[in-house]
Amino acid sequence: MFCRGADFSRRWKVKKLSHYDKKGRVRMVDVTAKAATSRTAVAHAFIRMQRATVASVRRLKSPKGNPLEIARIAGITAAKRTAELIPLCHPLSLTHVDVNAKLCQNGIEVTSEATATGPTGVEMEALVAAAVAALTIYDMCKALERGMEITDLYLVKKSGGRSGEYNRATKRVKP
């Protein structure tokens, strides 16, 4: 049985994996010689839930308080701690992190944005922020519904650095 992304290498040109040395050992990428540039990344996640759960959140009748505001703070905090969660991520000095949670008809859409000036990108920080915000919403709402699904966690766009811009909508990288 194939996983959902099993055809990844056929659909995308896969470059060399940067976290391995010439002998195949895992390593932290050396960014010493890279120039510090302004970098921004935006990520997305979605928490699918029943309409009754959405209605309760809309009325702020979650047993634990306002899940959207707690999720926003949790996502910001998580972005700042990404290097502690993802083993080979560089610790970054973030200059800005924002997380938004928007009620939709069938769930809650989370978007996050992370910005830093440095030698490496902030994609992981944006993704961790969106993921932890989504997990926080699940935690805050699980008393109302256990069958919620966290889906569609992905990078929306990124800018800065040697690889240039990426925009999911156009699926292009502009160096």
Q: Is 37 helix (H, G, I), strand (E, B) or coil?
A: strand
Cα–Cα dist 37/116, whole Å: 8
End-to-end CA distance of the chain: 37
Catalytic residue of the set 7, 30, 139, 152: 139
Q: Which of 94, 155, 156 is nearest to 120 (CA)?
A: 94
Cα–Cα dist 143/165, whole Å: 41
Is 139 one of the annotated active-site residues of the chain?
yes
Q: Which residues are catalytic?
A: 139
